[in-house]
Amino acid sequence: MSKDSNTIYVGTKPAIGYVLGVITQFNSSDVKKGTLKARGRAIVTAIDVVEIGRRKFFKDLKVDKIEIGTEELQREDGTRNVSEIEINLKR
């Protein structure tokens, strides 16, 4: 997954908190692109954030590209595969 200054990392907070981050990101300046990244159970929240943003706040918000993958995490009891998603947005 790529590194970008316009990236929002989705975690365990409620979806509306990340929606506010997307709103702030696109309203703060002439930003035309942004990225949401999530792993594991947060993938569902990331998708909710995009849909809430598109339906309620930005009618012109489009999903530019979606990248999915699997990351291997090392644990004491072995390795664990965790799914990850990167959603690129544009206006």
Minimal CA–CA distance to 83: which of 49, 44, 52, 39? 39
Gap between the Cα atoms of 39 and 10, Å rounded: 8
- Where in the chain are the domains? 7-90
Cα–Cα distance between 28 and 3 in angstroms, integer?
A: 20
Residue 36 — very low, low, confident or very high, per pLDDT cuts 50/70/90? very high
pLDDT band at 2 (very low <50, low <70, confident <90, very high): very low
Residue 46: is it exposed, middle or buried by C-beta count within 10 angstroms (0-12/13-18/19+)?
Answer: buried
Residue bearing the bigger pLDDT, 1 or 60: 60
Dihedral pair phi/psi, residue 83, rounded to 5°? -75, 150
In tens, the pLDDT along 58-91 reads 888 899 999 999 999 888 888 889 999 999 999 8
CATH superfamily, domain 7-90, is Alba-like domain (3.30.110.20)
Tokens representing residue 63 in the block: 């999903």
